[in-house]
Amino acid sequence: MGAAYAVFLSRTRLGFELTACGEGERVARYAAMPYAMLVALVLGVGGGVAGMAGCIEASATLGRLQPTIMVGYGYTAITVAWLARLKPWPIAFTAYLLAALRVGVEVMQLELQIPAAFAPILEGAILLCVLAAQFFLGYSVRLRDPARAGAES
């Protein structure tokens, strides 16, 4: 599915338009793309796929709806998408790593008696570290010599 998504984004006109709209509304308007229609399309398709995934998660294990299901996949998906910068192949790799983190934390809960909130805290720390790194890579701090600063004014 991920490979088909990558091919769709890189080889079709609609995929190109969706990628351009992902850069921002001004980019789409400059290229004369129907921004509102594309946003509505992505929201509808994304909601439908999320609904199907939720239905499968809630009913596939026992063949019927269950009262207790895992929650928090949406927040993990946001973290995965941000860390992978919305690129299909890095999304697969990042999702695998964060899934391994969740499974590892579940094992650690059983073996080491760590709290259940450890996985989301670790995910948040990873996301904050990546965001901080992006900020510091994008901006630089330059110290000016006070003597030269007065002479330039």
Domain holding 98, by residue range, is: 71-140
Report the pLDDT value the prediction gives residue 65, as an integer from 0 to 100: 64
Report the pLDDT value the prediction gives residue 47, as an integer from 0 to 100: 92
Confidence of residue 45 (pLDDT cuts 50, 70, 90): very high
Shared-domain flag, residues 76 and 133: yes
pLDDT tens per residue across span 59-88: 776 666 666 666 677 788 888 888 888 888
Q: What backbone torsions phi and psi does residue 24 show, to the nearest 5 degrees?
A: 145, 160
pLDDT tens per residue across span 82-139: 888 888 888 889 999 988 888 888 888 888 888 878 888 888 898 899 888 888 888 8
User: Domain for residue 151, yes or no?
Assistant: no
Q: What is the DSSP string of 73-126?
A: HHHHHHHHHHHTTT-HHHHHHHHHHHHHHHHHHHHHHHHH---TTHHHHHHHHH
Exposure b/e, 11-34, CB count within 10 A at least 16 = b? eeeeeebbebbeeeeeebeeeebe
Shared-domain flag, residues 43 and 7: yes
User: Domain for residue 9, yes or no?
Assistant: yes
Report the pLDDT value the prediction gives residue 151, as an integer from 0 to 100: 60
Q: Give the whole-number percent of the chain exceeding pLDDT 70.
A: 90
Cβ pair 79, 127 in contact under 8 A: yes
Q: What is the DSSP string of 91-102?
A: HHHHHHHHHHHH
Report the pLDDT value the prediction gives residue 40, as an integer from 0 to 100: 95
State yes or no: pLDDT of 39 exceeds 90.
Answer: yes
What's the whole-model pTM score?
0.66
Structural domains in the chain (count):
2
User: Domain for residue 63, yes or no?
Assistant: yes
Shared-domain flag, residues 116 and 76: yes
User: Domain for residue 152, yes or no?
Assistant: no
